[in-house]
Amino acid sequence: MASMKDISRVCGVSIATVSKALNNHKDIGEETKTHIRQVAKELGYFPNSSARALKTNRTYNVGVLFADEAMSGLTHDYFADVLDSFKRTVEARGYDITFLNASKNRKNRMTYLEHCRYRGFDGVMIACVDFSDPEVEELVKSDIPLVTVDYVFCNKTVIVSDNVKGMRELVTYIYEQGHRRVAYIHGADSAVTRSRLSSFYKTAEELGLIVPDEYVREAAYRDTKGAGRATKELLKLKEPPTCILYPDDFSSFGGMNVIKEKGLRIPEDISIAGYDGIRVGRHIEPQLTTLRQNTDRIGAQAGEKLISLIENPKTTIVEQVVIGGEVYTGKTVGRI
C-alpha cells in the first residue's frame, strides 16, 4: 500500500505538504490539494485509522443508541428517517457511525458506557431508548459528548420536535373543518406523549371544545391492534366522536381497518388524523391527514450539534433545539 512518502516523491513536495493537503489545511492552495489528492487516489493511498486517531486524539466514529420499546428497529419510520439524516450529516464530515448493542440478554455484555469506551466513540447520539434505564443515566453523566433526540436531560444538547405547537396546529385545523367532538388515542407515557396530551387539552379549552373523559384513550405507539381496540370503544359510545386522533400514522392504520369493517366511510362518516407524516400515509387512499415532523432537519441538527461538541467543546453551547413541523391536510378529515 502506498504511503505519504510515495505521494511526496511523485508530487515533488514534502511529506508535511502531503499531510496538510490530505487533511484540507487552509495554508495549501486548492490546485496543489487537488493534484496531491489525485495522485494519492491513483497510488491507492488510504490513511491508517489508528495513526489518524493517535495524531488527532479522535477515532472519527460516533455511537448511536437506538432501542424503541416496540422493538421495531429501523422499520420505525419516524426514527429511521431521523437516523438517515443524521448518518448523511456526520458522514459528510468524515465520521462513521456504529450502533450500540442494546440487547441485554447476552451474558457478560458491556454497559452502554463500557461499550462507548471500548469502541472509543468521539460522541454519542441517543435517538430512542428507555431514558429511565440506569445505564442510560450513567452514559449521560459521563464526559462523552452527547446529543439526545426528543428527550431533555439537564446540561445536554437535545433536538426536539415541537410537539406542543404541532398538536395545537393539528387540532385547530380539525376544529376549522367544523368538528366539535374530537377524540384522542394517545401513546404510552413519555415526555413526547405528555407534551402532546397537554397541548391537546389546552388547545381544546382555548377553542371551546368539550372533551369527555371517554374520548381520551391510550394505545402504544405503532400498535395497530391497540389503536383498533380503542377505536371500537369510541365507536360504541352513545355519542361517538366525529374525528379521532391517533398516536402516530402507523397506529392509525389499525383504526382505519376497524372503521371500514364497521361499514363506515372516511371521511364521509368519520374523520381521522395521525401524527408523524410517514411516506406511506401519502400513498394510501384516502391520503392520511397528519402532522408532518421535519425528520430531515431533526437528524441533521443532531449530527451538526454532536460534531460541534466533539470538535469545539469549549465554544459549543449546550442547548435545546426545537424543530417545528407542519399540518399535511390529506383527505381523512372531512368538513362538517
pLDDT confidence of residue 44? 83
Q: Considering the chain, what is the average pLDDT of its residues?
A: 91
Fold agreement between 61-161+296-324 and 163-293:
yes
Confidence class for position 122, pLDDT limits 50, 70, 90 = very high
Residue written as grid cell 439537564? 154
Confidence class for position 41, pLDDT limits 50, 70, 90 = confident
Please determine, for residue 53, whether its predicted confidence score (pLDDT) is greater than 60.
Answer: no
Against a cut of 0.85, is the pTM above it? no
With CA atoms as reference, report the closest residue to 262 among 288, 236, 241.
236
pLDDT confidence of residue 226? 97
Question: CATH topology for 61-161+296-324?
Answer: Rossmann fold (3.40.50)
**Order of strands, edge to edge, in the sheet holding 216-218?**
216-218, 182-186, 243-245, 271-273
- In the chain, where the domains are located: 4-47, 61-161+296-324, 163-293
pLDDT confidence of residue 22? 82
For residue 103, report the phi and psi dihedrals to the nearest 5 degrees. Answer: -75, 130
- Give the homologous superfamily in CATH for domain 163-293: Response regulator (3.40.50.2300)
Summarize pLDDT for 290-317 with one digit per residue, the tens: 999 999 999 999 999 999 999 999 999 9
Percent of the chain with pLDDT over 70: 92
- Give the homologous superfamily in CATH for domain 4-47: lambda repressor-like DNA-binding domains (1.10.260.40)
pLDDT confidence of residue 74? 67
**Order of strands, edge to edge, in the sheet holding 157-161?**
96-99, 61-66, 123-128, 146-149, 157-161, 320-323
End-to-end CA distance of the chain: 72
Confidence class for position 47, pLDDT limits 50, 70, 90 = low
Decide: 254 and 215 in contact? Cβ < 8 Å.
no
Please determine, for residue 48, whether its predicted confidence score (pLDDT) is greater than 80.
Answer: no
Percent of the chain with pLDDT over 90: 71
Summarize pLDDT for 184-241 with one digit per residue, the tens: 999 999 889 999 999 999 999 999 999 999 999 999 999 999 999 999 999 999 999 9
pLDDT confidence of residue 43? 85
Confidence class for position 73, pLDDT limits 50, 70, 90 = low
Average pLDDT over residues 132-137: 90
Q: In whole angstroms, what is the distance from residue 22 CA to residue 4 CA? A: 10
Spatial CB neighbours of 52, under 8 Å, sequence gap ≥ 6: 58, 60
The neighbour count for residue 179, using CB atoms within 10 Å, is: 20
Measure the CA angle with vertex 66, ends 62 and 71; round to 5°: 155
What angle, 0 to 180 degrees and rounded to 10, lies between the N-to-C axes of helices 15-22 and 30-43? 100
